Structure 1
Amino acid sequence: VLLREANLRYSLVRLRENAESIAFYGGEAQEAREVRDRLEGAVEGRRAVLGTQRNLEFFTTAYRYAIQILPVLVVSPLYFAGTIELGVITQSSGAFNSILDDLSLIVNEFEGISRFSAGLRRLTAFVERMEGYQRNASNATFVLSEAQRAKLVETAGDGPPGFLRMLGKGDSAAPSTPPVPAPPSPSPLPLSDGIHNLELAILSGSRALAIDDLSLLTPDGSRLLFANVSLTVRCGEHLLVTGQSGAGKSSMLRAIAGLWTRGSGIVTRPLTADTMFLPQRPYCALGSLRQQL
């Protein structure tokens, strides 16, 4: 059950981290099917656990009531035969319950013992995996050289004990100056009517892509990335968009794909089934190679 729930959480986190790539590839249906299958597996596992807990509760409850009646059933024939008195039955029942309570620890605490054993197995597997990973020197994230180790100094002052800082050329171990507060964010720009994304089976004039007066804002509307961009790409032509980081190259691709509508303008392109977008981050759906294809 825990494995199925962990697989479900992994699918949801992975879906959130790769949402843009999934939208570019059009893999929403496949991802939804994968998440639904894992959700159904987690639900079935939880149902099995609830059924087991129900059966265990039936057994423990019946056990508690049975041990109250059992000593009376054993001693009652002697009472009706006149061999013992009525008080002996009460004494026998009390002595039997006192001894049985000490011997019924496993039955009464079976659920707690099982939970403790499962947690202990998970922690043991985690510790063994971490120790095996650390023993392999090739798994080190980085290795400091002797010169870099010499630059590691322990700072004094307001820093916590054992706090280390890498000193560069001309630096000292003096406490750093307090951070300067960030300037207030600018007010959002006026909202526009949005970007109109048109998909046509056949574009006129042998066009493969047409953009008319495209202006793009950041998602919060605080900054204009570019304005009034128009271009036409005909069949067989190639277009390379270059610019500095943050100029809006990837944002233009999102606008062409229809993922980003904050702005204005018209984008005319072929149908989604005839268009392939390659995101910056590689992405593969969960499953076999046949399912990928």
Structure 2
Amino acid sequence: MKGYRQLTLLYGLLLMVVAIPVAIYLVEQNADSRNMAANKRGCVEQCPGRDGVLRNCTPPEADGSSEDSVCNVANRVQMCGGKCYVCPSPNGKWKVDDALKCAGTTVVPSIPAGQVGVLNYQISFGGVNPNNAQCTIDWPLKFIILGDGETKVYQNVIPKNKFVLNNKMVFIGSLKLTGFTRLNNLAVFIRGPKHLQVKYGKNNQTGSYNQAGGEIMVTESEVLSPLYDFSGYPLMPGDVVGTYSEQQDDMINGVDFSYIKLKSLEHETIADGGNLKADLDGNCQVNSNDVNLLKITLQDRQGQLY
């Protein structure tokens, strides 16, 4: 009788060893099935998912997808599923912060003392033909960075490299945001040496942003900061002189037209690598093509200011 009880107990233990993993597997499969079904219906909320990414559907994005957030910046705050999550450190794990609850509280991640944020960017200049752009050397850019009421201007920024992508000359660089402390929700304004100022608020932008603020995020590391591709919305050429001076005035009008038209009639030319103010396409000469480029930009007339 005693041996029978021991045998029964042994069978029971073996059954538990087999049954528990099977039960866990079935539960996970059921959860995955529910998630797949939910995905077909629309937004799938995970706070966080197995990959550590917050996927918030409360509310979802405009297209019905989840708002995804990665824990890559210390003290970053993000809502998910009605709860407030805080990123303790770069590449850390999101943690619920019940004390903060995000409601009515704005926590803006900022650069630790002694460190500098880095904006990785690539841009293009409207009208530049990559097969004939010998005079697009070291065209200086003006950057204005805005975030949470803070503003910083960076002059004479030179992209560090250029390449051809989809028959377009693309200029790439990294800007250290010295003196600027914000990391998230940034807006970037860029003006070229003969171009209107353009606002960029998100990656892969292809037209006017037309919203207050921006969605750009940077980190203190050039390697970890995202690369923002602004080349799909080229800087608009034509702002070469001001009404009362030889300096740009962030407007395109008859003064710019008269200046470029005159230079085109003179067929002003320069050697490769040089710079002519009225040479909008960077081919080292001023001709009718530059006049036509200005006419195209005239519909915008004024740089974007907010």
Is TM (by shorter chain) over 0.5?
no
- The structure with more strand, counted as a fraction of residues: 2
More contact order relative to length (CA 8 Å, sep ≥ 6): 1
The TM-score normalised by the length of structure 1 is 0.21
- The structure with more helix, counted as a fraction of residues: 1
